[in-house]
Amino acid sequence: MKVRHISLLRNLVLALALAFGINAGTSAPAIASSGDHDQARAALESGEILPLSAILLKLEKDFSGQIVEVELEREHGQWIYEIKLLQKDGYRQKLKVDAKNAAVISKKIK
């Protein structure tokens, strides 16, 4: 399977999110519990966090690879998108991204 640029896979992720009942334009994927999901929705509606689609648009300029996992987590009072990408060379890149402004907090390659 060819690894494609993140912009092409963004549509796939959004389609999968919709298929599983998650509207990535107005909600966030992979929330641990329904209480967390309600908090994430409220944060999105209040403008505290960006939707996944906006995060992916900002990241596609600097990162490529196949998206294999996306999570939205709350760490130390801050919403973080954790995005895992499969690189062309077979390595996996893990990005931690500030959900408020799409700033990359950390990146690791395994």
- Per the CB < 8 A criterion, the answer to whether 11 and 56 are in contact is no
What are the tens digits of pLDDT across the range 75-93? 998 999 999 999 989 999 9
CB atoms within 10 A of CB 93: 17
What are the tens digits of pLDDT across the range 20-71? 333 344 334 454 455 678 888 889 999 999 999 999 999 988 998 889 999 9
- Assess if residue 36 is contained within a domain: yes
- Assess if residue 1 is contained within a domain: no
- Assess if residue 50 is contained within a domain: yes
CATH number at residue 22: 3.10.450.40
- Assess if residue 67 is contained within a domain: yes
Distances (CA, A) of 23 to 29, 44, 79, 101: 8, 12, 18, 19
Q: How far apart are CA 102 and CA 59, in angstroms?
A: 8
pLDDT at 85: 93
Q: How far apart are CA 21 and CA 29, in angstroms?
A: 10
Residue 46 has which token pair? 């209040």
- Assess if residue 71 is contained within a domain: yes
Domain count, the chain: 1
- Assess if residue 47 is contained within a domain: yes
The domain of 96 spans: 6-109
